[in-house]
Chain A
Amino acid sequence: MALLLSELYQGLISLVDFVMHPLQDRVGIKGMAYIFVLPNLLIFGIFILLPMLLNFYYAFTGGTQLFPQNRPFVGMDNLNTLFTCSDFLVPNSCREDLFWRAVFNTFGYVAAQVSLMIILSLVTALALNRDIRARGFFRSVFFYPVLLSPVVVALIWKWILQQNGLLNALIVGLGGNAIPFMVNPQWAQLWVVFISLWAQMGFFTLILLAGLQAIPHEFYEAASIDGAGRWRSFRSVTLPLLMPTLFVVILLSLIRAVQIFDQVFPFTSGGPGTATLYIVQYIFQTGFSNQTKEYGLAAAASLVMASFLLILTVLQLRAGRSSEVS
């Protein structure tokens, strides 16, 4: 079988060689480099770069037509619609109140999720970095939920959190009253944070663990010779040397948290009410699932989100650089 495959591969090489040789004679070795990057560049250009430019076009045109030639230019109208508020702190006073509700919800979610994510994944990575038994097993256990699809994650927890679910059974068993988790807005927001932590923590733990393992042992030995205790060596050795990795983790988790959608949509569909409506779902609804498809408004909203992500990234990189210098 293996022999057959390798012969097949050799045949393929000869075939490609035969077809491509004239081409190489024509464009030369240097020219072949362009041929090699071409497919990737084409897909890239058509599905990422071109859309990035087109997004501006959508944000400044109106109407409900998808094709650009049918869309009238409206200038700043879409952005104005999004930013018309009598009081920016009260979503209800805005013309596009759902957008502002989504913005506020996203801010709250990002603040809670990212800070908890950093703490929990750091603690877990520190625990896994100790000289413990079955380390590989524990590492896999914490990583396993990362592989699960967002829909599966949502359904697993929906089943546990429902009125007659496992968690309410435990609460009742301990003498409490069953809580309608998915009906109460605050509880729903809390569980959205929880399930996204559950589903993503293993990934960040793994990156931090790799960062921890890259710290040379000698540093700890030197610290302990100098009489540093556990806490001291964590603060003076581990934390500074882990900083670059920690910055990567903060940046990645921030970017991902701002885009929260996949787990929430099958979990709460934004509800109850609009308690778990986040920006990407607002874009999705405005552009794709509502009766009138307001592509311009959705594109304007994604422009706002993109600028926010850009600012975040730049700030992060700045902070990262200055911490390296000091």
Chain B
Amino acid sequence: MNSVLDFLTRTRGKTRLEAVDVLTYLYLLFGTIIMFGPVVWLVMSSFKSQTDLIRFPPTFFPYRQETVVVEGHDKPLELYTVTFEDGTTRQMAQVRRVGIEAQMIDPAAPAEIVKVNIKQRAPVESVYVSLENYTNGIERFNFWTYLKNTVLVTTATTILTLFVNSMAAFALSKYQFRGRDTILLLTICTLMVPLSVILIPVFLVITQIGWNNNLLGIIVPAAATPTGVFLLRQYMLTIPDELIDSARIDGASEWRIYLQIILPLARPALAVLTIFSIMWRWNDFLWPLIVLSRSELFTLQVGLNSFQGELQTQWDLILAMTVLTLLPITLVFGFLQSYITSGIATTGMK
């Protein structure tokens, strides 16, 4: 017995597992359930049929009642396990239900109708993954339109962000020019000015330009991220100036230096910014909600919000569409998690 305990508490390097370690693992395990459990529950629920969804208490796996095709009946009949007074049980199909009485038949001998109290029967069920919520949801929800808009906004903004920010960062890190410190200071200040503080005037600017109800109205304003300029500038400061000087001696123009030397060397920082930008734009909510009021322009987030407002209690469709909305970002995270976590840890930005 002692040796089992020894084995269980053995750790790498250290001598023994202490009480604090046990507490740590318990805490992390509990945290894992709280953090991950709700998403798992959402995914499981999204496969359930509407009748299965209102079952209380709910089951973890999606279930479906078995049906059987019986001669003489057009529709498949629902299958029940019936318990008789003498204690015997039989699987029977229900023909119809009248009040508290159910008329059942044996699928093998469909001629004889047995009347049973509904308390005596329990449905025969099996685990069944239904994709119906997804197919119905996609039809009702305009999923492809919203997805197209979101992908368009996310890619366009990200490409624009990368270029605009890296150009500015290049200038701010590699040139001495008048006004540089002012621009840098303004950048830092705007880090602290959240969009929610200037909603109305930005909306005016957008309307004045004619970008109200236009995807450009959410693509362009989001492109000049102070975070991106900052991140890239800090990185570009580490690129040696000699590289640029020798390129100049070789007759390279400033644009060639930017495109051929700076951008390739800044790849790690650009990768981090790309991931950030995709995350930000995919999940944006308040600003698209204000700019877009025509439903054919909705992004996934705005669409999902209005969908849940429209359907109220049609959870079957809402759940499936929620899963579809979180799927892409989850896949990205699955592949790039170490990049993302270390990127955020080193820059401290989001």
CB pair B39 A287 closer than 8 Å:
no
CB pair A30 B20 closer than 8 Å:
no
CB pair B177 A30 closer than 8 Å:
yes
Of A41, A159, A305, the residue contacting B315 (CB under 8 A) is A159
CB-CB under 8 A from A127, the residues of chain B are 24, 27-28
Closest 6 CB pairs of A and B: A54-B201, A51-B201, A40-B168, A33-B175, A36-B171, A43-B224
Interface digits, A134-169 against B, CB 8 Å rule (1 contact, 0 not)? 001011111111111111100111111000111001
CB pair B346 A13 closer than 8 Å:
no
CB pair A284 B329 closer than 8 Å:
no
CB pair A123 B27 closer than 8 Å:
yes
Interface residues of B in 27-79 (CB under 8 A from A): 27-28, 31-32, 34-36, 38-39, 41-42, 45, 54, 56-58
B253 at the interface (CB under 8 A from A): yes
Q: A30-B175, A37-B168, A51-B205 are in contact. Are A17 and B255 (CB under 8 A)?
A: yes
Interface residues of A in 92-148 (CB under 8 A from B): 123-124, 127-128, 130-133, 136, 138-148
A-B contact pairs, 7 of them (CB 8 A): A44-B190, A55-B200, A55-B201, A128-B28, A138-B28, A159-B41, A265-B285
CB pair B177 A34 closer than 8 Å:
yes
Of A17, A130, A262, A266, the residue contacting B256 (CB under 8 A) is A17
CB pair A145 B194 closer than 8 Å:
no
A46 at the interface (CB under 8 A from B): yes
CB distance from A150 to the nearest CB of B (A): 5
* CA A202 to CA B194, docked complex, whole Å: 21
Give the total of B residues in contact with A, Cβ under 8 Å.
Answer: 97
CB distance from A198 to the nearest CB of B (A): 7
* CA A68 to CA B207, docked complex, whole Å: 12
* CA A142 to CA B253, docked complex, whole Å: 47
B325 at the interface (CB under 8 A from A): yes
A237 at the interface (CB under 8 A from B): no
Q: A20-B255, A147-B329, A203-B344 are in contact. Are A259 and B196 (CB under 8 A)?
A: yes
Of A39, A57, A283, A309, the residue contacting B164 (CB under 8 A) is A39
A209 at the interface (CB under 8 A from B): yes
Of A24, A262, A298, the residue contacting B200 (CB under 8 A) is A298
B231 at the interface (CB under 8 A from A): no
Q: Closest B-chain residue to A12, C-beta based? A: B259
CB pair B305 A266 closer than 8 Å:
yes
A206 at the interface (CB under 8 A from B): yes
- For this complex, into which size category does the number of interface residues on chain A fall? 35 or more
Of B198, B322, B338, the residue contacting A55 (CB under 8 A) is B198
Interface digits, A312-326 against B, CB 8 Å rule (1 contact, 0 not)? 010000000000000
A50 at the interface (CB under 8 A from B): yes
Q: Chain B interface (Cβ within 8 Å of chain A)?
A: 11-14, 20-21, 24-25, 27-28, 31-32, 34-36, 38-39, 41-42, 45, 54, 56-58, 163-165, 167-168, 170-172, 175-177, 180, 183, 186-187, 190, 192-194, 196-205, 207-208, 220-221, 223-224, 229, 248, 253-256, 258-260, 279, 282-283, 285-286, 290, 300-301, 304-305, 308, 315, 318-319, 322, 325-326, 329-330, 333, 337-338, 340-341, 344-346, 348, 350
CB distance from A287 to the nearest CB of B (A): 5
* CA A133 to CA B14, docked complex, whole Å: 12
Interface digits, A1-30 against B, CB 8 Å rule (1 contact, 0 not)? 000000001001100110011001000011
Of A40, A172, A305, the residue contacting B197 (CB under 8 A) is A305
CB pair B350 A155 closer than 8 Å:
no
CB pair A142 B31 closer than 8 Å:
yes
CB distance from A5 to the nearest CB of B (A): 13
* CA A20 to CA B208, docked complex, whole Å: 32
